[in-house]
Amino acid sequence: MFRSKFFSTYLLPGFVFQSITIGGGYGTGRELVEFFMTQGPLGGLLGMILSMLIWSLVLAVSFELSRLTRSYDYRSFIRSILGKGWPAYEVVYGIGMILVVSVLGSASGELVNAMFNIPPIAGIVAMMLMVGLLAFYGTYLIERALSIWSIGLYAAFFILIVTCLVEFWNDIGQTVGIYTEDSKWIMGGITYSAYNIGIMPAMIFVVRHLHSRKEALVSGLFGGAIAMIPGFFIYIAMLSGYPEILKESVPVDYILGQLNISWFMLVFRIILFGTFIETGVGLIHGFNERIAGVYEEKGREMPRSLRAGIALGILILSVFIADAVGIVDLIAKGYAALTWGYIIAFVIPVLTIGFYRISKFRETSG
């Protein structure tokens, strides 16, 4: 399957994007609560649809620009958009990477503690080791690991929503249509999409599989939907616990507890733990690819040991931040502030300068 041209062209980019967004985007469910469910159940769904459309548009433009300029690491890609102003994105990306990995570290500790009643540090160390191992082996293994885990995740999330619909049909049915008059779902959709799509250059290495404008644009449009579908599943499932679930630090765990299916709870938590590894390795691999690009410019190859060392260094720093701040405050305050950095340094430039450059390429080539 992974050697299939259709898969590597139209599905792989979406799976990789989903992998780098899910841990910080909706793996715990807390992010969906913060940006969407607080705007009312129906408003939240509308906000998620808006986010998905923004993702698809930005991915499509980014993939085509990357293909045209042959920019396959985030530094060269951002330079093709911002020119000499590219370090502005690097600052925002660095802050975002630390912030998101901090959330993942905190969530990993809580999840392992809930699964096995052992100290949270065990979950954090396990995540660090797996991220470091994948970072050590590089792009080939990472693409396949993220794709395989994404397929498992789709299956787990599908089972979750079906089970919740069967068990809590009345609760979900009575809740899903609630619309609050003061809902700010448009802003929620824009801000959520911006902070997630802002880390998209970390997975720009997948554009190597795209060889035409059609492939780039269709792959990008598919990517937004592929990444958001599991989010819709988990959001609908969480509506069964509305409004009590608004206060939960890990809402997904709350829903699993309500279902009280021991075997599925264990399997789902393992899948969820894997999503934290997915996002962490995706972000850190993007950073490593940026450094590898510098090595290539000098005619050298980046040592694998350096890849693993950078990954562990970032993880250790992030863990200290997570322990000091806590997951709820990291998401509520950190993500909101980070959003504006991504909007200014990435989203607006892509949809203006990037779109212009694509049009210019078309004129000169046609």
Residue 122 exposed, middle or buried by CB count within 10 Å (0-12, 13-18, 19+): middle
Q: Cα torsion at 127, 272, 24, 106 (round to 10°)?
A: -50
Q: Which domain holds residue 355?
A: 5-365
The tens-digit pLDDT sequence of the chain (366 residues) is 556 788 889 998 998 898 888 765 677 788 899 899 999 999 999 999 999 999 999 999 999 999 999 998 888 899 999 998 988 998 888 888 888 787 777 778 877 887 888 888 888 888 888 888 887 777 777 777 877 888 888 888 899 999 999 999 999 999 999 998 889 999 999 989 988 898 888 889 889 889 999 999 999 999 999 999 989 999 999 999 999 999 887 788 889 888 988 888 888 888 888 888 878 888 888 888 888 878 888 889 888 888 888 888 888 887 777 667 666 666 666 667 788 889 999 999 999 999 999 988 754 443
Phi, psi of 196 (to 5 degrees): -80, -45
Structure-block tokens of residue 81 = 């958009």
1 near 151, Cβ under 8 Å? no
The radius of gyration of the chain's CA atoms, rounded to the nearest angstrom, is 20
| 104 Cβ contact list (under 8 Å, min separation 6) | 23, 24, 127, 276, 279, 280, 318
Is the omega angle on the peptide bond into residue 119 within 30 degrees of 0, that is, cis? no
Distance CA 355, CA 366 (A): 17
Return contacts of 146-151, CB within 8 angstroms, 24+ apart. Answer: 146/15, 146/16, 146/19, 146/278, 146/281, 146/282, 147/2, 147/12, 147/15, 147/16, 149/19, 149/271, 149/274, 149/275, 149/277, 149/278, 150/15, 150/18, 150/19, 150/278, 151/15
CA distances from 46 to 36, 227, 268 (A): 9, 16, 27
* pTM of the shown model: 0.84
62 near 204, Cβ under 8 Å? yes
Q: Which residue type does 356 have? A: Y
Residue 261 exposed, middle or buried by CB count within 10 Å (0-12, 13-18, 19+): middle
CATH for 274: 1.20.1740.10
Distance CA 203, CA 103 (A): 20
Distance CA 146, CA 128 (A): 16
Distance CA 199, CA 207 (A): 15
What string of DSSP letters covers 125-154?
A: HHHHHHHHHHHHH-HHHHHHHHHHHHHHHH
Structure-block tokens of residue 351 = 């949809």
Look at the chain and report how many structural domains it folds into: 1
